[in-house]
Amino acid sequence: MHVVVPYAADTPKTRLEPALDAGERRRLARTMLEDVIRAIRATDREPTVLATGAIQSPLGASVTVDDRPLTEAVNAVLGDRLPEGPVAIVMADLALATPDALGRLFDASGDVVVAPGRGVGTNAIVVRHPSFRVDYHGGSFVDHEAAARECGAAFNTVDSRRLGTDIDEPADLVEAFVHGPGRTPDLLRTFGFELDREKGRVSIRRSGEGVDVADRSSSF
Amino acid sequence: MHVVVPYAADTPKTRLEPALDAGERRRLARTMLEDVIRAIRATDREPTVLATGAIQSPLGASVTVDDRPLTEAVNAVLGDRLPEGPVAIVMADLALATPDALGRLFDASGDVVVAPGRGVGTNAIVVRHPSFRVDYHGGSFVDHEAAARECGAAFNTVDSRRLGTDIDEPADLVEAFVHGPGRTPDLLRTFGFELDREKGRVSIRRSGEGVDVADRSSSF
């Protein structure tokens, strides 16, 4: 299986701007990418990074540069690689991904297998049907299900919170902080974040800062 | 295994107030409860509803009334039932729960097994250790892990987005609408919701209304 990890090389993770400065966002994006690469390698597969611009190779992984939008760049890979065998696309910000969760995705049956993300997104996908193409607009889960049906591909999903959690907004940082299996939690600690537990909610915040980076409260 | 579904009988789902009126919130809570009961029954287990007040029996299930706060009411059940065998606590708003996801939880090894929710919550838990007790304050996942360690119980988690998604806030409704396996999606359609797809995001909104109930955008 050819495993691709798309990566925004230039200005990654802009939606984390309320919580992190540009340098921190770059370091976080890079650390999450490396965590994802390690998790993929632990399933005995070697990922290729599909970057929007030149980057230093993360952990010695192959890097392909394609500055087109995500959908076009991924579909170019599908066109090239599907004739040879299955292709998996795993987003670079899945800081909770473990080898077990990725193994369940890679091993699931189906011509198109999606690990859904919040907001009806597609956080990871395995494609085994030669004519299936991705479309990463809003609500891509629904699009991908419809596209699979249209080309006669058997559609399946994998039920994983680890693959379903992308680190996109400040409120997501606590997920990486608590549940991340790689080095992302340590990086967040280096940035000065700590668990902040007030009545009825949990988030992370910088030591000494009063500013709460999470606006999502927990009900339990 | 004794399976308990806690249920707020009186004013359920108040955080959905921006999207639904009080009557709709009650109907939604009831429909989600019934979906959860059906999913549990499909694993060949018979749940008991632990309600904060008298309710009409949902789908003929046993109802125990306990008007104490969630943590106390659940711990009373654990005290009564753990001597006889394992106890599972499954929240009533897990509208995405399937028999498969619940089966993975019920069958997972460990003295304490948690299905984590967003915001470091505990959406479902299986307890097999006689002295473990729950604490449903904010950040309960972290508390439950620590409490398991303290009483020498083997702690485990189950990686399920279906169990990890509780329907709590307006932005969660789209998850139930798209991924719900039971009757909740139909109820939301009855309320007039439909998929709303604008550039880069997906949510649901009422037909004819301009008001968008989701403030969470999707990155893909």
A69 touches chain B (CB under 8 A): no
Predicted confidence (pLDDT) at residue B137 exceeds the cutoff of 90: no
B87 touches chain A (CB under 8 A): no
The tens digit of pLDDT for each residue in B86-104 reads 999 999 999 999 999 999 9
Of A15, A137, A174, the CB nearest to B120: A174
The tens digit of pLDDT for each residue in B113-129 reads 999 999 899 999 999 99
Cβ A116–B201 below 8 Å, yes or no? no
The tens digit of pLDDT for each residue in A178-205 reads 999 999 999 999 999 999 877 556 778 8
Rounded CA-CA distance A208/B214 in Å is: 32
Going by their DSSP bridges, the two strands A62-65 and A47-51 should be labelled as: parallel
Size of interface A-B (CB pairs under 8 A): 138
Indicate the residue type of B172: D
Chain B neighbours among A 17-46 (CB < 8 Å)? Answer: none
Distance from CA of B108 to the nearest CA of A (A): 14
**CB within 8 A of B41, min separation 6: which ones?**
B47
Tell me the β-bridge partners of B49: B5, B63
ipTM over 0.90: yes
The tens digit of pLDDT for each residue in A146-181 reads 999 999 999 999 999 999 999 999 999 999 999 999
Predicted confidence (pLDDT) at residue A86 exceeds the cutoff of 80: yes
CB-count exposure of residue A207 (10 Å: 0-12, 13-18, 19+):
exposed
**Taking a C-beta distance cutoff of 8 angstroms, is the pair B148, A151 a contact?**
no
Token reading at B38: 């059906």
Q: How confident is the model at residue B200 (pLDDT cuts 50, 70, 90)?
A: low
